[in-house]
Amino acid sequence: MAWWQERVGYQIYPKSFQDTNGDGIGDLQGIQNRIPYLKRLGVGFVWLSPIYLSPNIDNGYDISDYQAIDPQYGDLKQFDQLVSAFHEADIKVVMDLVLNHTSDQHDWFVQAASSRDNPYHDFYIWKDAKNGVPNNWQSIFGGSAWQYNQATDEYYLHIFATEQPDLNWENPQVRLAIYKMIEWWVLRGVDGFRLDAIIHLKKLQSFADVDDMDLAMRNVAGIDVFLKELGQLFKQNDVMTVGEAMGAPIEDAAKWVSADHGYFNMIFQFEHTQFFESGHLADLSVPKLKSVLTKWQNELNDDGWNALFIENHDLPRAVSTYGDDSEYWLASAKCLAAWYFLMKGTPFIYQGQELGMINADYPRIEDYQDIATHNQYDQLIKAGKSAADALAIVQKISRDNARTPMQWNDQENAGFTTGTPWLEVTPDYKLINAANQVDDDSSVFNFYRTLIHLRATTPALISGRYDLLETPGDQIYAYSRTLGDQQYIIAANLSTESANFDFAPELQPCVKQLVLGNYIFKTDFLTNDVSKLILQPFEVAVYKVSVN
């Protein structure tokens, strides 16, 4: 198997990971200083969110120079040292690539916006202003997707922030420039890439009005030309790829990640993270999670590979969303870990997830810095929500929930910085922090360590087939992993009430060994007479079953 199938990934949001110079912003040296922590956890590769030069309108996802490190993080020399240090620890390095758009301060766009005759003009998407705004297309961040440029008397397209103009992937010169940049990073030792917003590269070329914005800018017909080119480049350079493909239909899964002809090695699909629908919080029921996750597991069981995640830099904290961040904080943090981690695919851990970090719940909208959060709040107010109701909604879904500083200890600013942190530390840091957990065998951190070791030493939990187990009610999510005569059953009670779990009749006489649990820590428990379990609130049990 490939290294990215056997290993566990860890996403680092550099701005919030570890500051070493007191400016309140994480840096490359801080990441390097924490390599022993990551090695102890047991991860096999790290994914670094953008560290490129950027004005930081969207926290680094607006890149002004693809081949420079933002000075707030360090420089290229420090980056090279960081890659070498990771490799010495046998940890591979994956970088975030933002290929749909650049910053409006990128030299390409500065030149493009200066004149219609500039050689870089067609690096972006322009429409003449003589008839006003070109069409009804809306930005994902809210408002029109078009911005007027006086120097050329044109509008340019930006499907995210105004300061993030979309690249024109129809232009071969754009693609060539991008490909050269990618190979430049590969030569610096990068082992893989996470591809941001990759499903948006193709735009509807008629530029007509649409009723559904996805028709204009998401997975548009013809995108396969660009993705195949990209895929070939990555394969030629022998690097791992994982695409952010929110909205990719299940019937296209093979195109994206087939082992033989897929564009990429893995994709992040987001059907299980649709927290916000039509101005209200979505229903995150267990039956819905079963349906969505099993659909993707089944589709990729035989050809392709899932990227497993419940947190990232754009999502609220899992314990505050799927779990219970008060009475059952410890139990739910561990339950959620085993529940998603042991499905078929490569597990990704987002920084702080291994500690059970929870949402920020800032009391004022002014405390949030995320541009999308403020746009969502403004849209809710315009839609008639009260300030209190609008705040309550964004508190639950804000991207800043994941971006609060890493909680290293119970000292000032959670040990993240000696200065003023760029974003306020979550108030619970005195209880939830790494120093409290790394030497505590019963901690969330060490539960993740155990999971990583269990997966790494158990072939069935890497390549075994996933099968959903039928369970009545809406509390338990149970599934099996089977490889040859090895079988494991993972049963998770994703609720605050006790629930019954019945082993299937054919399994009731089998010998069952409890190899991992978050309520019972004995790992030598054997039984062949259990037909029914009573799972406590947010209890998870992992059984090895003799299928002979």
Query: Cα(193)–Cα(243) distance, rounded to whole angstroms?
Result: 8
Helices 329-341 and 444-456: crossing angle, nearest 10°?
A: 20
**For 402-426, what is the mean pLDDT?**
98
User: Cα torsion for 510, 511, 517, 521, to the nearest 10°?
Assistant: 160
pLDDT at site 8: 98
Which pair of tokens denotes residue 263? 């564009």
Place of tokens 């993270």: 273
pLDDT at site 533: 82
pLDDT at site 51: 98
- pLDDT reading at 525 higher than 50: no
- pLDDT reading at 527 higher than 70: no
Which pair of tokens denotes residue 175? 């693609």
- pLDDT reading at 454 higher than 50: yes
Alpha carbon 385 to its chain centroid, in Å, reads: 29
pLDDT at site 502: 86
Q: At 109, is the secondary structure helix, strand, or coil? A: helix
Largest CA distance in the chain: 80
pLDDT at site 123: 98
- pLDDT reading at 526 higher than 50: no
Which segments of 166-301 does DSSP mark as H helices, in order? 172-187, 214-217, 223-236, 253-257, 286-299
CB–CB of 435/410 below 8 Å? yes
pLDDT single digits (tens) 279-290 = 456 677 999 999
When the pLDDT of each residue in the chain is averaged and rounded to a whole number, the result is 94
C-beta atoms surrounding 382 within 10 Å: 10
Which segments of 342-438 does DSSP mark as H helices, in order? 371-382, 387-397, 400-403, 434-437
- pLDDT reading at 528 higher than 60: no
pLDDT at site 305: 97
Place of tokens 């951190």: 445
pLDDT classification of 523: cutoffs 50, 70, 90: very low
pLDDT at site 280: 54
**For 345-364, what is the mean pLDDT?**
97
pLDDT at site 336: 98
Which among 95, 100, 262 has a CA at the least distance from the CA of 194? 95
pLDDT single digits (tens) 154-171 = 999 999 999 999 999 999
pLDDT at site 529: 52
- pLDDT reading at 276 higher than 80: no
The domains of the chain, with CATH numbers, are 3-100+172-452 (3.20.20.80), 107-157 (3.90.400.10), 464-546 (2.60.40.1180)
For 116-181, give the DSSP string: TTSTTGGGB-EEESTTSS----B-TTSSBSEEEETTTTEEEE-SS-TT-PBB-TTSHHHHHHHHHH
- pLDDT reading at 23 higher than 70: yes
pLDDT at site 275: 64
pLDDT at site 524: 44
323-333 burial, b if ≥16 CB within 10 A, otherwise e? bbbeebbbbbb
Query: Cα(36)–Cα(27) distance, rounded to whole angstroms?
Result: 16
Query: Cα(249)–Cα(232) distance, rounded to whole angstroms?
Result: 22
CA separation, residue 542 to residues 296, 305, 400, 531 (Å) = 22, 22, 33, 15
pLDDT at site 131: 87
Helices 223-236 and 172-187: crossing angle, nearest 10°?
A: 30
Q: Residue 491 pairs with which residues in a beta bridge?
A: 478, 541
pTM above 0.75, yes or no: yes
Query: Cα(18)–Cα(45) distance, rounded to whole angstroms?
Result: 18
C-beta atoms surrounding 516 within 10 Å: 21
Residues with a known catalytic role: 196, 244
CB–CB of 538/506 below 8 Å? no
- pLDDT reading at 452 higher than 70: yes
Query: Cα(164)–Cα(100) distance, rounded to whole angstroms?
Result: 9
pLDDT at site 548: 60
- pLDDT reading at 382 higher than 90: yes
pLDDT at site 343: 98
CA separation, residue 111 to residues 105, 373, 431 (Å) = 10, 31, 51
pLDDT at site 522: 44
| Of 14-18, 246-250, 281-285, 452-456, the least confident | 281-285
pLDDT single digits (tens) 485-504 = 999 999 999 999 999 998 88
With pLDDT > 70 as the criterion, what percentage of the chain qualifies?
Answer: 96
Query: Cα(70)–Cα(156) distance, rounded to whole angstroms?
Result: 26
For 472-531, give the DSSP string: SSSSEEEEEEEETTEEEEEEEE-SSS-EEEEPPGGGTTS-EEEEEESS---S-EEESS--
CB–CB of 455/486 below 8 Å? no
**For 99-122, what is the mean pLDDT?**
98
484: exposed, middle or buried (C-beta count within 10 Å: 0-12, 13-18, 19+)? exposed
Place of tokens 């059952």: 328
Query: Cα(218)–Cα(505) distance, rounded to whole angstroms?
Result: 46
pLDDT at site 513: 87
pLDDT single digits (tens) 193-203 = 999 999 999 99
pLDDT at site 282: 66
pLDDT classification of 473: cutoffs 50, 70, 90: confident
